[in-house]
């Protein structure tokens, strides 16, 4: 029986209206294209620009196309004998009908010069078949009565968008194709005189570090209130819109269209923002304002001030704009005001899911996404109030002696991993959906400073020291240590702990469950691979100051230490993390008044460092120091 998108049985009668017909195709166009490709290298070059192996209705035709495309990429000949040998290498020559079929295709080609026309026909019929499949999937998704209708609508829209973007069959590519594209990109970059390879930010020194904003990247800009993160984002958006003529889409959950537009006009016209808001403008201001409005009107800047935005809303609206006009940059102001999925375990999990969703958006639309983030006031307790990566984290840090569970069953302290400068470590992480362990690879292991730690001890005898804001997976979801209380239960794993064999009062009564006959206070969740239990907190005690560490783990955002399932950071999804710091906020008499530090704290593809911009408070404007 057929299955729907969730793997459930589907009544075949629902599909009869579609599946009872022959899917759109043209065998003649496919044969003519392949014949032309075996007669002309130019025909091969034209075809590979438009068509992929999966676009052919007849599978054997797809095999022949793959062989021709491979030979073309290698610079080899495209004659019948060579194509036959290439198919034989993959054991596909007999599947396509032997060399006789290849000769027949070559001989029956109507016109070599019409190869691009044949390729276009093959592509168009393929798109129609993809559209039918997407429509069928969407219909079955609706018939399944999904619990989250908004998510279903988003998925349906994504499927149609994939067809429109011709991308539904291109997520899996042979490395040969990717290498050729990489070589083309490198050659194009080599020929450029300027060092900015992405979209220029308009801030010269920042572009030196970032090389511009790159497609598919998520950039997080964090700051305390009053530092000017919204003004920075507006300046970034205006610069990109002006320099590239591409649309910039700004989602504002905090300010209205009017407020943002007033800020843009004040900055562009260099008119005092207080006078502009109050209407007490000087005669000389009007000429500047009219000129600024004229310039801004030419920029393709779109503002969405819906205060109840979700990631799905942003994805849907960004998709529509890109399909209609193209898209250069997406800005979200700001992360902590966004809403996530319903029934989420905690706000920390919700924010992490939002950041992950924005990274997926950046990759899906192949545009840079800039997300603003409000930093915790905890940093203001330090003598040096410049933000650090740890200030962005929703999790916190663990003691250096904490034993991290590796995927091979061994254990090693996080401190020793850091001392060895190890980064990509295969370790155990936590799958929230199945409540089980899974293997993952870390992306970075780092020391975050010397901080206060607390010791959490469980009834089963497990213990770990962490900062107060590190998150544990409890029966109520992800919760910070300083939110947990004695008597609550957190998830632990015997496999992920050296002490797991000592769990008291446990008897294995079946393959799928453990039972504590005395207290019944440890509850099991198990699949075929591992065991997770809920262990009661016995004590939370202050320990003192010590060096602490953290690990970034892509996808799951979690790892196991001393047998506990713990969460890591918000920044882990970001390709770039920047902080805005203005010393005058804390020290009004500072000699650095009017100067803003843009701290690039994380840069996945390049260097980190600090750049300095001028901040013109009257205009709420960031500008290059050299231009002042």
The CATH number assigned to the domain holding 525 equals: 2.170.16.10
Cα of 398 vs its chain's centroid, Å: 26
In a domain, 607, yes or no: no
527 shares its domain with 504: yes
Q: Are residues 264 and 363 in the same domain?
A: yes
- Cα distances (angstroms) measured from residue 200 to each of 212, 321, 389, 533, 607: 5, 21, 25, 51, 17
Decide: helix, strand or coil at residue 372: strand
- The answer for residues whose C-beta is within 8 angstroms of residue 414's C-beta and 6 or more apart is 398, 400, 402, 404, 445, 549, 551, 561
- 105 confidence band (pLDDT: 50, 70, 90): confident
Q: What is the Cα–Cα distance from 613 to 618, expressed in whole angstroms?
A: 15
- The number of domains in the chain is 3
Who has greater pLDDT, 92 or 389?
92
- Is it the case that residue 509 has pLDDT exceeding 50? no
Q: Tell me if 301 is assigned to some domain.
A: yes
**Band of pLDDT at residue 501, cut at 50, 70 and 90:** very low
Q: Would you say 394 and 554 are in contact if contact means Cβ atoms under 8 Å apart?
A: no
Do 414 and 485 fall into the same domain? yes
Same domain, 211 and 285: yes
So what's the pLDDT on residue 55? 87
Worst-scoring range by mean pLDDT, 109-123, 304-318, 601-615? 304-318
Instruction: For residue 3, name the pLDDT band (cuts at 50, 70, 90).
Output: very low
| Tens digits of residue pLDDT in 145-183 | 888 887 788 788 778 777 766 544 444 556 666 566 667
Going by pLDDT thresholds of 50, 70 and 90, the confidence category of residue 232 is very high
The answer as to whether 27 is a domain residue is yes
Do residue 589 and residue 554 come from a single domain? no
Flag whether 335 is in a domain: yes
**3-state DSSP call for residue 538?**
strand
- Find out whether 443 and 461 touch, Cβ atoms under 8 Å: no
Lowest mean pLDDT among 245-259, 385-399, 511-525: 511-525
- Lowest mean pLDDT of 93-107, 365-379, 568-582, name the range: 568-582
Q: For residue 513, name the pLDDT band (cuts at 50, 70, 90).
A: very low
Do 206 and 324 reside in the same domain of the chain? yes
Claim to verify: residue 239 and residue 303 sit in the same structural domain: yes
Q: In this predicted model, what pLDDT tens digit does every residue of 379-434 receive, in sequence order? A: 777 788 888 776 665 556 889 999 998 988 889 999 999 888 887 889 988 776 66
- What whole-number distance in Å separates Cα of residue 433 and Cα of residue 149? 20
Question: Of 160, 180, 212, which residue constitutes the final position of a domain?
Answer: 160
Q: Angle CA(272)–CA(274)–CA(277) in degrees, nearest 5? A: 110
Is residue 237's pLDDT more than 70?
A: yes
State yes or no: pLDDT of 537 exceeds 90. yes
Does residue 550 sit in the same domain as residue 585? no
pTM of the predicted protein model: 0.56
Which pLDDT belongs to residue 190?
59
Output the pLDDT for position 330: 93
Residue 373 forms beta bridges with which residues? 222
Q: What is the pLDDT of residues 129-142, one digit of tens each?
A: 888 888 888 888 88
pLDDT at 9: 52
pLDDT band, residue 518 (cuts 50/70/90): very low
| Tokens read off for 91 | 């054991």
Judge whether 279 lies within some domain: yes
What mean pLDDT, rounded, does the chain reach? 78
Percent of the chain past pLDDT 70, that is, above it, reads 78
pLDDT score for 570: 56
Could you list the residue range(s) of the whole structural domain that residue 490 is in?
Answer: 395-568
- Judged against a pLDDT cut of 90, whether residue 454 lies above it is answered with yes
Q: Say if residue 402 is in the same domain as residue 257.
A: no
pLDDT tens digits for 323-373?
A: 788 899 999 987 777 766 555 544 555 566 677 778 888 888 889 999 898
- Cα–Cα distances (Å) from 516 to 473, 513, 521, in that order, read 21, 10, 7
pLDDT at 571: 58
* pLDDT of the residue at 74: 64
pLDDT band at 1 (very low <50, low <70, confident <90, very high): very low
Q: What is the pLDDT of residue 195?
A: 63
541 pLDDT band, cuts 50/70/90, is very high
Residue 201 placed within a domain: yes
The answer to whether residues 408 and 537 belong to one domain is yes
Percentage of the chain lying above the pLDDT 90 cut: 11
Whether residue 622 is preceded by a cis peptide bond, meaning omega within 30 degrees of 0, is no
Q: Are residues 210 and 352 in the same domain?
A: yes
CATH number at residue 71: 1.10.860.10
Residue 602 in any domain: the answer is no
We report the CATH number of the domain holding residue 338 as 3.40.50.300
Stated as kind and residue range, the H or E segment containing 620 is none
More confident residue, 187 or 41: 41
Q: Is residue 440 part of a domain?
A: yes
What is the reported pLDDT for 14?
Answer: 47
Question: Which pLDDT belongs to residue 472?
Answer: 87
Region 84-106: mean pLDDT is: 87
**Which pLDDT value is given to residue 500?**
46
Report the pLDDT value the prediction gives residue 524, as an integer from 0 to 100. 39
User: What pLDDT shows up at residue 421?
Assistant: 83
508 and 583, same domain (yes or no): no
d(Cα 257, Cα 165) in Å, to the nearest integer? Answer: 30
Higher per-residue pLDDT: 258 or 184: 258
For residues 76-105, give the mean pLDDT. Answer: 86
Check residue 473 and give its pLDDT. Answer: 85
């Amino acid at each position: 029986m057929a299955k729907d998108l969730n793997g459930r049985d589907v009544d075949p009668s629902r599909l009869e209206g579609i599946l009872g017909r022959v899917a759109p195709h043209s065998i003649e166009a496919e044969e003519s294209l392949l014949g032309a490709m075996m007669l002309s290298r130019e025909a091969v070059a034209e075809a590979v620009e438009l068509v992929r192996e999966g676009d052919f209705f007849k599978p054997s035709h797809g095999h022949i196309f793959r062989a021709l495309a491979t030979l073309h990429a290698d610079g080899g000949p495209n004659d019948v004998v060579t194509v036959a040998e290439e198919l034989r290498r993959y054991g596909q020559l007999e599947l396509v009908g032997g060399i006789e079929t290849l000769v027949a295709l070559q001989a029956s080609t109507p016109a070599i010069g019409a190869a691009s026309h044949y390729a276009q026909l093959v592509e168009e019929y393929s798109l129609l078949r993809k559209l039918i499949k997407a429509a069928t999937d969407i219909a079955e998704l609706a018939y399944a009565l999904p619990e989250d209708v908004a998510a279903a609508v988003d998925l349906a829209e994504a499927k149609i968008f994939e067809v429109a973007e011709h991308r539904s069959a291109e997520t899996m590519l042979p490395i040969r194709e990717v290498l050729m594209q990489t070589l083309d990109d490198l050659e194009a970059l080599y020929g450029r005189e300027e060092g900015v390879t992405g979209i220029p930010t308009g801030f010269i020194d920042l572009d030196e570090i970032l090389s511009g904003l790159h497609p598919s990247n998520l950039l997080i800009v964090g700051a305390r209130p009053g530092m000017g993160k919204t003004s920075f984002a507006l300046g970034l958006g205006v610069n990109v819109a002006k320099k590239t003529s591409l649309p910039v889409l700004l989602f504002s959950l905090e300010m209205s269209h009017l407020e943002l537009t007033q800020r843009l006009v004040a900055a562009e016209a260099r008119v005092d923002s207080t006078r502009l808001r109050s209407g007490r403008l000087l005669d000389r201001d009007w000429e500047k304002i009219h000129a600024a409005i004229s310039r801004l009107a030419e920029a393709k800047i779109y503002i969405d001030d819906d205060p109840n935005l979700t990631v799905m809303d942003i994805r849907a609206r960004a998709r529509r704009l890109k399909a209609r006009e193209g898209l250069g940059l997406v800005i979200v102001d700001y992360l902590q005001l966004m809403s996530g999925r319903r029934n989420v375990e905690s706000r920390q999990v919700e924010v992490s899911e939002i950041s992950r969703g924005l990274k997926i958006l950046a990759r899906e639309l192949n545009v840079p996404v800039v997300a603003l983030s409000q930093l915790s006031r905890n940093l203001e307790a330090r003598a040096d109030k410049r933000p650090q990566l740890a200030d962005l984290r929703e999790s916190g840090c663990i003691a250096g002696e904490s034993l991290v569970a590796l995927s091979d069953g061994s254990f090693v302290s996080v401190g020793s991993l850091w001392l060895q400068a190890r980064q990509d470590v295969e370790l155990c992480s936590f799958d929230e959906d199945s409540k089980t362990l899974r293997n993952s690879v870390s992306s970075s292991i780092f020391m975050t400073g010397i901080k206060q730690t607390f010791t959490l001890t469980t009834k089963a005898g497990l213990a770990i020291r962490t900062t107060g804001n590190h998150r544990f997976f409890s029966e109520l979801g992800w919760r910070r240590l300083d939110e947990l209380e004695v008597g609550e239960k957190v998830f632990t794993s015997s496999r992920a702990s050296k002490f797991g064999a000592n769990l008291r009062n446990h008897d294995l009564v079946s393959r799928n469950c453990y039972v504590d006959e005395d207290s019944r206070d440890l509850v099991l969740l198990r699949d075929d691979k591992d065991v997770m239990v809920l262990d009661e907190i016995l004590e939370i005690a202050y320990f003192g100051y010590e060096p602490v560490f953290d690990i970034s783990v892509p996808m799951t955002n979690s790892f196991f230490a001393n047998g506990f399932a713990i969460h890591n950071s918000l920044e882990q999804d970001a390709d770039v993390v920047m902080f805005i710091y203005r010393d005058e906020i804390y020290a009004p008499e500072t000699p650095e008044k009017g100067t803003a530090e843009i701290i690039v704290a994380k840069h996945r593809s390049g260097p980190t460092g600090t750049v300095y911009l001028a901040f013109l408070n009257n205009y709420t404007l960031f500008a290059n120091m050299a231009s002042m």
